Amino acid sequence: MPDLLAARWLFGLSLAFHIVFAAVGVAMPLLMVLAEWRWRRTGDPVQLDLARRWAKGAAILFAVGAVSGTVISFELGLLWPRFMDFAGPIIGLPFSLEGFAFFAEAIFLGIYLYGWGRVGPRLHLASGVVVAASGAASAFFVTLANAWMNVPGGFELGAGGAATGVRPLAAMFPDGWEHEVVHVLLSSYVATGFAVAGIHAARLLRRPGSALDRSALGLALAVGGAAALLQPLSGDLSARQVARTQPLKLAALEGQFRTERGAPLRLGGLPDPDAGVTRGALELPRGLSLLAFHDPDAEVKGLLDFPRELWPPTRRVHLAFQVMVALGSLLAALSLAAAWLALRRRPWPRGFLRAIVAAGPAGFVALEAGWLVTEWGRQPFTVRGILTTAASVTPVGRLGVPLVLFVAVYVLLGAVTAILLYRQIAATPAAGDAEGGA
């Protein structure tokens, strides 16, 4: 395997593994804080049990995420030293601030876990709020760095390609940063909310009388469902920003090979780069022009207007984008169904519970697909239009060896995490089972 490909695989697998724990670190603290707030307000012991259980789960996943995040930090320097040499002076600020957010999250998570009965109720609840805010802040700062890689700014290129005239704040907040940040944060709440909902829906199918699982399901769906309904609006804003600043990426996302006015929106299909067509897609007339520019007659640039060597892997980008959109739409539809059932104050039907169980992993699959779209869609560049991925990689060879070793470590770490979470979820009897009649 070529060293460039091995480096990309190694970093890609590390990021794919870590992003699950990063998303949980954003959303899980919010769930545990909401459960504790309910307990403080109502005195319901079920809510106290739920807050404690979710806090333990958050701690396990935070610990694993800290390990995988540290690995990624080292890999940035070891695998991509030329990228870090160029980009470090420009976007070092958000990376540094992410470190502060991480330490704040770790400190206050410790207070939250060990402060039950040892600190005042307001301080304890406030520590949970800080954990939730710090997790969101970590994602915020990392996403700013990624946004800069897609739309670089805040510097000038000097002689020999070195960055000069660096403006850290301008680099930290590139064009369209707000759309990418909101999209990432919402996807974290969607993925975690539906994963937690799927777990408690499965438990309710076995123990229909569990008060804890009924409450947990409603709370997880409230967080994940609200985010899922907002996500299409965020996606629309992100797509319009991509259309304006990254027309080549938009063309790859949509399988748009030829420049045309009134471009159709393609659902499904398989791009054929050699023939310059997307085969088997359902085309909605003028849909892409309308969504990307809010003008059904707007011109959309096609891939054939750009040099072939600058094309991202069109087929993979298009398919990953279709997976993300399809699963996001499915979760939004389930959220509407959940809201309708909640408003009518009806018990969760077993068919709906089965649907939630089946959709439990969908949010994380969509999240992974979205990151593939972002990273593949920027290729062949690490910093779009400035620094290629081939020019960023380390000159050190034989990267296939650490690739195999790290895959083995991630498999082992994932298995241990799964066992710990299974024991946390399944081994402890659910609070409220007795009063629920299970």
Predicted local distance difference test score (pLDDT) of residue 434: 41
Peptide bond into 380 cis (omega under 30): yes
Rounded Cα gap, residues 129 and 327, in angstroms: 30
For the chain, the residue count is: 438
Which helix (DSSP H) or strand (DSSP E) does residue 283 occupy?
strand 282-284
Which helix (DSSP H) or strand (DSSP E) does residue 381 occupy?
strand 381-383
Q: What is the pTM of this model?
A: 0.93
On the question of pLDDT at 68 being above 90, the answer is no
pLDDT, tens digit (0-9, with 9 covering 90-100), for 242-269: 999 999 999 999 999 999 999 999 999 9
Nearest to 355 by CA among 369, 328, 335, 339: 335
Predicted local distance difference test score (pLDDT) of residue 327: 96
On the question of pLDDT at 431 being above 50, the answer is no
pLDDT, tens digit (0-9, with 9 covering 90-100), for 331-367: 999 999 999 999 887 788 999 999 999 999 999 999 9
Which helix (DSSP H) or strand (DSSP E) does residue 332 occupy?
helix 314-343
Predicted local distance difference test score (pLDDT) of residue 433: 53
On the question of pLDDT at 430 being above 70, the answer is no
- Neighbour-count burial of 415, counting CB atoms closer than 10 A to its CB (0-12 exposed, 13-18 middle, 19+ buried): exposed
Phi, psi of 155 (to 5 degrees): -165, 170
Predicted local distance difference test score (pLDDT) of residue 429: 53
Rounded Cα gap, residues 84 and 69, in angstroms: 17
- Identify residue 36 by its one-letter amino acid code: E
Confidence of residue 398 (pLDDT cuts 50, 70, 90): confident
Query: Mapping DSSP to helix (H, G, I), strand (E, B) and coil, where does residue 256 land?
Result: coil
Percent of the chain with pLDDT over 70: 97
Rounded Cα gap, residues 276 and 353, in angstroms: 44
